[in-house]
C-alpha cells in the first residue's frame, strides 16, 4: 500500500489519489481472515469493507476510487498483456471478484465519476510489488491523511 502511494506521488497525482493508493487495501485489515476466504473460494469484498469504514472519515476523492478499484482490475484484465502480469493470487481473486468484465460492464464502468482515478490506482497497485526498494514510513503520510479527512 505504501508503494502504491509512493507511485501515485511520483506520478504527481492529487492528494486524494495518493491517499486512496495508501488506503486501498485497508479492508484486508478489517476482515477477520482474508486468506481463509480465498481458500474457501469466497471474495471478502475488501473494497466494500474499506469503503464503508473509511467513508466516515475521508473525502470522496479518497474513498470512491477505493470502492471501485476491483472493478478497475476486472476492466483492465480485458487486456491480455495486463492479465498476464497479474500474480497467480491476483488471478484467483479476479475469478472470485467476478472475472474479466464484459463489454457491457466495461462501457458502464467507463462512465463512473472516479473511473480514471480507479484505473490509475489499480495500475499503481500492480506495480507496487517490488522488493529491496527504499520505502517511506507510514508516519510520512500523516499530514496527507489529515488533509483528506472530512
Tens of pLDDT, residue by residue over 54-94, are 999 999 999 999 999 999 999 999 999 999 999 888 898 89
Q: Is the pLDDT confidence value at 37 over 50?
A: no
In this predicted structure, which of 8-12, 32-36, 48-52, 85-89 has the lowest mean pLDDT?
32-36
Domain around 9:
2-147
Q: What is the pLDDT of residue 33?
A: 58
Predicted local distance difference test score (pLDDT) of residue 42: 52
Please give the full DSSP string across 81-114, using - where no structure is assigned: HHHHHS-HHHHHHHHHTT-SPPHHHHHHHTTSTT
25/32 Cα distance (integer angstroms): 14
- In this structure, what C-alpha cell is assigned to residue 135? 520505502
Q: What is the CATH number of the domain that holds 111?
A: 1.10.3210.10
Question: How many helices and strands in the chain, by DSSP H and E?
Answer: 12, 0
Q: Is the pTM of this model over 0.85?
A: yes
Tell me how many domains the chain contains.
Answer: 1
> In this predicted structure, what is the pLDDT of residue 41?
55
Length of the chain as a residue count: 150
For helices 15-23 and 2-10, the axis angle rounded to 10 degrees is 160
Amino acid at each position: 500500500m505504501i508503494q502504491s502511494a509512493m507511485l501515485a506521488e511520483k506520478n504527481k497525482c492529487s492528494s486524494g489519489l495518493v491517499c486512496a493508493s495508501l488506503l486501498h487495501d485497508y479492508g484486508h485489515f478489517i476482515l477477520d481472515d482474508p486468506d481463509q476466504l480465498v481458500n474457501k473460494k469466497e471474495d471478502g469484498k475488501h473494497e466494500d469493507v474499506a469503503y464503508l469504514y473509511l467513508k466516515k472519515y475521508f473525502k470522496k476523492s479518497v474513498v470512491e476510487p477505493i470502492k471501485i478499484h476491483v472493478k478497475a482490475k476486472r476492466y483492465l484484465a480485458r487486456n491480455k498483456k495486463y492479465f498476464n502480469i497479474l500474480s497467480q493470487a491476483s488471478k484467483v481473486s479476479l475469478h472470485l471478484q467476478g472475472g474479466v468484465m464484459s463489454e457491457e460492464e466495461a462501457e458502464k464502468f467507463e462512465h463512473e465519476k472516479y473511473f480514471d482515478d480507479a484505473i490509475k490506482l489499480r495500475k499503481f497497485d500492480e506495480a507496487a510489488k517490488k522488493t529491496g526498494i527504499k520505502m517511506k514510513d507510514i508516519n510520512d503520510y500523516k499530514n496527507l491523511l489529515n488533509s483528506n479527512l472530512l
